[in-house]
Chain A
Amino acid sequence: MLDLLKSQLPTLITIAIALGAILTTCAYLIYIERKISAFMQDRVGPNRVGPLGLLQPLADGAKFLLKEDVIPGHVDKVLYLLAPCVAVFTAMLAFAVVPFGPVGDEPSWMRFIIAPDLDMGMVFIFAIGSLSVYGVVLGGWASNNKYSALGSLRASAQVVSYEIPLGMSILGVALVSGTLNLEQILAQQAKGGFLAWNVWTQPLACLIFFTASLAEANRLPFDLSECEQELVGGFHTEYSAMKFALFFLGEYTHMITIAFLMSVLFFGGWHSPLATAESAYPGAWAVKLGVLFAKVLLVILFIMVIRWTIPRFRFDQLMGLAWKVLIPLALGNVIALMVIRQFGLSLWWSTVASAVMFCIAGAISTNASRAALERARSPLATAG
């Protein structure tokens, strides 16, 4: 028993650190999001609690814990209580196979991945990621509220649709790397240097992955399941206090996972563009950790800026984007990579294929939209 504990000690430490880090980061991501939106909107943002409002997340957390935890009388109690747990649990579980540092280069007392050497790492993430919609669906269903039901129905349809382009965009990466193991994908990119980052050879896959994962995480412009303006919060309308905070936590954890996956799959993970392939000076792991976190933060900031810039899709437009745009493009991308692998062509042909497909899709969509514009033409005229 003691031996088992001893052998598992690094894992336990890693879990403790990762969990703590995620929870703190989520709290501060909310702070960052509020500051960014304030910056974009000519406002000040939170600045009352602590210097620069830095203690705001703590105050919010305390508030969530101390608020009255209402369970409305008309809900299905078991599912109602289960839903936020599912949302957080799945979001956290998906993080288990994400390498959050230079794996293989770490100090002895901890690892930079909770579950190392998982050969089906990416499959695991998608399996768990799709499960996370159960939190939303159960929450909306159990709330026994029409707005919530609409929200959860939207969420389920949305996740089912966006799983497909998400998975297919990853398929290209898997084809090129020949593995589903995230550590190995990362190691290959790092070994090849700056130009081996998957984003250069598969820009289209990167774009599709990013778009689809925004939809998976229910972030604006894809937050149809909870849009305040129509559905008054959608699936979490009936939730309050800590249960509501758990949904929030799940969403932000999801966002962190996406950001890590983006960096690991497409942007070379902890590999710095300035470094040579092998840099084995003492403490290199700290630098690599810094590089990875910087990339992750940039992705998260980008997601936030998107949220405060553009409006939300309508439901049919959301479906149209998945089925008419992303899935054909992702399919085309996979086929192009298959051909390239089969005939042993240079990977740069994939970049060309991506660019061509992107231009074709753009041409088709602008032509289609031009036709639509002709139909619903509204030129502005002035008289008098």
Chain B
Amino acid sequence: MPLTLADSSPVDSPDREYLWTLNFGPQHPATHTTLRLVLTLDGENVVSAVPHIGYLHSGFEKLGEHLDFNQYVTIVDRMNYISPLANEISWHHAVETLLGIELTPRCIYIRTICAELMRLHDHLLNVGTTALDLGAFTAFLYAFTQREKIYDIVEYASGQRFHTSYTRVGGVLFDVNNDWVNKVRSFVNAFGETHAEIHKLLTRNRIFMDRTKGIGVLTKEDAIRFSATGPLARASGVVRDLRKDEPYLAYRDFDFKVVCSQGGDCYARYLVRMQEMLESVKILQQAIENIPAGPINIALETDVVLPAKPAVYRSIEGLIQHFEVIMPNRGFPVPHDEVYAATESPNGELGYYIVGDGTPRAYRARTRPPSYIHFAMFPHMVKGHQLSDVVAILGSLNIIAAELDR
């Protein structure tokens, strides 16, 4: 179905000259990042909306052709900075698919735990900002208190709070210890309380329900047609979750459910996200008790991972191998092949299409960002709603501009 944009609607015809244009963004408190919408308004009603992109364009994809697979992880971090680790995991998932690498069980579990923590991280922010955009400030800060704890956990493992750059081709940067496991365990056990508090503040709140029910409805057909993914699609009744449908990492081992709803409106998206957080907690509880022992990186013989520091300093073989991986004119062997691999990021299907040309850098590193695809649906969803609904819908879509523009 083609999108009808304001440009093509007869706004200029004389009987509609009372319509006026409102420039919504790029600097606006409700866009959270640098989005821009040009709204055509009939009083309070939105006649049409034109989303503009490109205000945060930084050439991320082009950089992917100039940095090697390990270096580029610092860039994918910055695409969706609400859940940076999930991007890294997704990127290296694609790279490892290209190289045909099998990860060690311990690494798989660590990455799974990180991915689920990031899902909590992202959903907390989204639920919080949805409430914030409707004027409920308190739920937002409840969510942020918990996000702070996730930052601490991530910092403990990787040394960075925000842009972690934690994963590496064939493994992760540092091993985790028992303290970290205990941190995650205590966080997961305490999380339910905050979840219940947010639930109490919002879910049955009459004003919140009135503001979100029936707002920005996306039908199942439209969701499929617009290739919506993630919570957005599941809230419209599309039963698709890559964790179940194409299991990667350790998701095969865990007992969890895919949360779906039939409403397709902002309220359904909120409910799906809230429930998904509980499912993530379930996964975390299972994963944290079953982390296998063993190495975090794949075998040295693959010439992909760095040798341990003592080996580099004390043996010539270690030193040579270190340089083989690090030096810009060396690097590890990459097949002449192309691959698309995706993971279920908190926001939806986050995929990378990588073309290898034998050099340690990708010939093409294309991202499939959920935000970009979801933002395209916005004019369709907002039509006929009011100005106040614009922020509600925008909040429920969870658009991250850096990921949108790349």
Chain A residues with a Cβ under 8 A of chain B: 37, 40-43, 146-147, 150, 220-221, 223-224, 227-230, 232, 308-317, 369, 372-373, 375-384
Residues on B with C-beta less than 8 A from A369 are: 206
Tell me whether B387 is interfacial, beta carbon within 8 Å.
Answer: yes
Residues on A with C-beta less than 8 A from B388 are: 224, 227, 230, 312, 314-315
Bound Cα distance from A146 to B39, whole angstroms: 12
Q: Are A229 and B138 in contact (CB under 8 A)?
A: no
Interchain nearest-CB distance for A369 vs B (Å): 8
Residues on B with C-beta less than 8 A from A378 are: 213, 235, 261-265, 267-268, 271
Q: Are B260 and A372 in contact (CB under 8 A)?
A: no
Interchain nearest-CB distance for B400 vs A (Å): 18
Bound Cα distance from A41 to B140, whole angstroms: 9
Residues on A with C-beta less than 8 A from B387 are: 150, 230, 315
- Looking across the interface, which residue of chain A has its beta carbon closest to that of B239? A383
Q: Are B205 and A310 in contact (CB under 8 A)?
A: yes
Question: Beyond A232-B29, A372-B214: 10 further Cβ-contacts under 8 Å?
Answer: A41-B141, A229-B134, A309-B201, A310-B205, A315-B387, A378-B264, A380-B259, A380-B260, A380-B275, A383-B239
Q: Are B22 and A146 in contact (CB under 8 A)?
A: yes
Q: Beta-carbon contacts of B1-30 to A below 8 Å, as 1s and 0s?
A: 000000000000000000010110000111
- Looking across the interface, which residue of chain A has its beta carbon closest to that of B259? A382
Interchain nearest-CB distance for B266 vs A (Å): 10
Residues on A with C-beta less than 8 A from B142 are: 41-42
Residues on B with C-beta less than 8 A from A310 are: 135-136, 205, 207-208
Tell me whether B253 is interfacial, beta carbon within 8 Å.
Answer: no
Q: Are B241 and A384 in contact (CB under 8 A)?
A: yes
User: With A311-B211, A312-B135, A373-B213 as given contacts, are A146 and B20 in contact (CB-CB < 8 Å)?
Assistant: yes
Tell me whether B88 is interfacial, beta carbon within 8 Å.
Answer: no
Bound Cα distance from A218 to B205, whole angstroms: 21
Q: Are A379 and B210 in contact (CB under 8 A)?
A: no
Q: Are B136 and A311 in contact (CB under 8 A)?
A: yes
Q: Are B211 and A314 in contact (CB under 8 A)?
A: yes
Instruction: List the count of A-B residue pairs having beta carbons below 8 Å apart.
Output: 133
Residues on B with C-beta less than 8 A from A42 are: 141-142, 145
Q: Are B261 and A308 in contact (CB under 8 A)?
A: no
Tell me whether B258 is interfacial, beta carbon within 8 Å.
Answer: yes
- In the assembled complex, 5 residue pairs joining A and B whose CB atoms fall closer than 8 Å, in A order, are A146-B23, A308-B138, A311-B208, A315-B44, A383-B239
- Looking across the interface, which residue of chain A has its beta carbon closest to that of B145? A42
Residues on A with C-beta less than 8 A from B133 are: 229
Bound Cα distance from A220 to B131, whole angstroms: 14
Q: Are B131 and A311 in contact (CB under 8 A)?
A: yes
Residues on A with C-beta less than 8 A from B137 are: 37, 41, 308
Bound Cα distance from A372 to B271, whole angstroms: 18
Task: List B residues 65-87 near A (Cβ within 8 Å).
Answer: none
Interchain nearest-CB distance for B128 vs A (Å): 11
Interchain nearest-CB distance for B40 vs A (Å): 12
- Most A-side CB within 10 Å, residue of B134, B267, B268, B388: B388
Bound Cα distance from A251 to B392, whole angstroms: 27
Interchain nearest-CB distance for A136 vs B (Å): 17
Residues on B with C-beta less than 8 A from A146 are: 20, 22-23
Bound Cα distance from A308 to B141, whole angstroms: 11
Interchain nearest-CB distance for A71 vs B (Å): 21
Residues on A with C-beta less than 8 A from B161 are: none
Tell me whether B244 is interfacial, beta carbon within 8 Å.
Answer: yes
Bound Cα distance from A317 to B258, whole angstroms: 34
Task: List B residues 85-140 near A (Cβ within 8 Å).
Answer: 131-138
Interchain nearest-CB distance for A251 vs B (Å): 16
Interchain nearest-CB distance for A246 vs B (Å): 23
Residues on B with C-beta less than 8 A from A150 are: 22, 44, 387
Q: Are B262 and A383 in contact (CB under 8 A)?
A: no
Tell me whether B389 is interfacial, beta carbon within 8 Å.
Answer: yes
